[in-house]
Amino acid sequence: MSAQGGWSLADHASSAITLSKIEQQEWDYIILQERTSLIIDNPEDHMYPAIRILCEKIRAQDATPILFMIWGPRDGLPLTGCKNFHDTLSCIYSNCMDIAHEQDLMVAPVGIAWQKGIERDPQVNLWDSDGSHPSREGSYLAACVFYVIIFNQNPEGLTYRAGLTKEKAYFLQNIAVDTVLDGCILLK
């Protein structure tokens, strides 16, 4: 793992540490996660060039890059023009899918899963108290999305529930399956 706090994908694309980790181990998948503000604000200047570099390095090692489509803050990013969660997610979706199509990337649509979860149950608690990071439920939903993407299997009925009730875990597992199978992402 190469997950230094606050780093952008551009930081990773120019980091000897990250590039060495890509080259020195055999990976099946490498997850690319950009900072929210850089997905929304001029991605063609920051995120896109970094993803191009990282994808080239990852594929040279016969690994598969997966773009982590994040969820965004509960209250949006008003300074970027995204006034609420839905505006923010719309920008994230559009900008992630643009580079995903260009680079033929698999996408883990975690943000879309969050949106579906909120639509089905407005009381679901996906954000931590800071309104930005994931709660236990949000983390579990993200993990379920990645499970579907990586293993191409339905997570419904998995016994690991991260301390959630069986009902809550099943709800989140079901959201993950429905999101991925909706065809809103690129699957290989």
- Indicate the CATH number of 1-71+82-108 among 3.40.50.880, 1.20.1640.10, 3.40.50.1110, 3.40.50.2300: 3.40.50.1110
Cα angle 77, 42, 80; round to 5:
20
Predicted local confidence at residue 5, as pLDDT: 78
Predicted local confidence at residue 187, as pLDDT: 35
Q: Which residues contact 71 (CB under 8 A, 6 or more apart)?
A: 85, 89, 92, 110, 111, 114, 115, 126, 134, 138
Residues in the chain with pLDDT values less than 50:
184-188
Predicted local confidence at residue 181, as pLDDT: 82
Q: Which residues pair with 82 in a beta bridge?
A: 77
Q: Is the CB of residue 24 less than 8 Å from the CB of residue 51? A: no
Q: Say how many C-beta atoms besides its own lie within 10 A of residue 53's C-beta.
A: 16
DSSP assignments along 129-183, one per residue: TTSSSB-HHHHHHHHHHHHHHHH-S--TT-S--TT--HHHHHHHHHHHHHHHHTT
Predicted local confidence at residue 183, as pLDDT: 59
Break the chain into its structural domains and give their ranges. Answer: 1-71+82-108, 112-188
Backbone angles phi, psi at 65, to 5 degrees: -80, 140
Predicted local confidence at residue 46, as pLDDT: 92
pTM over 0.75, yes/no: yes
Six-digit token string for 188: 């290989």
Six-digit token string for 183: 């065809």
**What tens digit of pLDDT does each residue of 11-24 get?**
999 999 999 999 99
What is the 3 state secondary structure string of 54-70? HHHHHHHCCCEEEEECC
Predicted local confidence at residue 6, as pLDDT: 82
Q: Is the CB of residue 30 less than 8 Å from the CB of residue 64? A: yes
**What tens digit of pLDDT does each residue of 77-112 get?**
998 889 999 999 999 999 999 999 999 999 999 999
Query: Long-range contacts of range 72-77, CB-CB < 8 Å, 24 or more positions apart?
Result: 72/36, 72/111, 73/36, 73/127, 73/131, 73/132, 74/127, 74/131, 74/132, 75/131, 77/36, 77/37, 77/40
Predicted local confidence at residue 186, as pLDDT: 40
